[in-house]
Amino acid sequence: MSEDIICVDSYDFDERINDGIVIVYFYNHMNSQSRAFELIIDEIAEQYYDSLRVLAVDVEQSPDIADRYCVEGLPCVAILNNGETVEQIEGSNPPYVYTDIIDELL
């Protein structure tokens, strides 16, 4: 994962989602779709590094967060604005699916 992505867990998740636009990337390194999707999430993090935060949550290390967001499939991306979920998308999608939503929020 790129240096623009912040890995979080149950201890610091809540304090990082309440201000501004936040992308939460739910993943598991054992999941092949998650590994392939990392290129897209890295691209998004790099493109918007000065406008939002990208957080990564390993669902095995922080199942409580995954449960809170009802994550059923991986990869999963939740787009939050000031702590409120704007959109949640499961599965691998092209970058524009995410960037269109982000651009509307900006």
Q: What is the CATH number of the domain that holds 79?
A: 3.40.30.10
Q: How many structural domains compose the chain?
A: 1
SS3 104: helix
pLDDT tens per residue, range 80-89 = 999 999 999 9
pTM passes above 0.85? yes
H or E, element range at 81: strand 76-81
Q: Is the pLDDT of residue 58 over 90?
A: yes
Distance, CA of 27 to CA of 51 (rounded, Å) = 22
Q: Which domain holds residue 79?
A: 5-101
Query: Mean pLDDT throughout 6-33?
Result: 93
| Closest to 30 (Cα-Cα) out of 57, 64, 58 | 58
pLDDT at 31: 84
Contacts of 45 (CB under 8 A, 6+ apart): 2, 4, 5, 23, 54
pLDDT at 65: 97
Does 106 fall in a domain? no
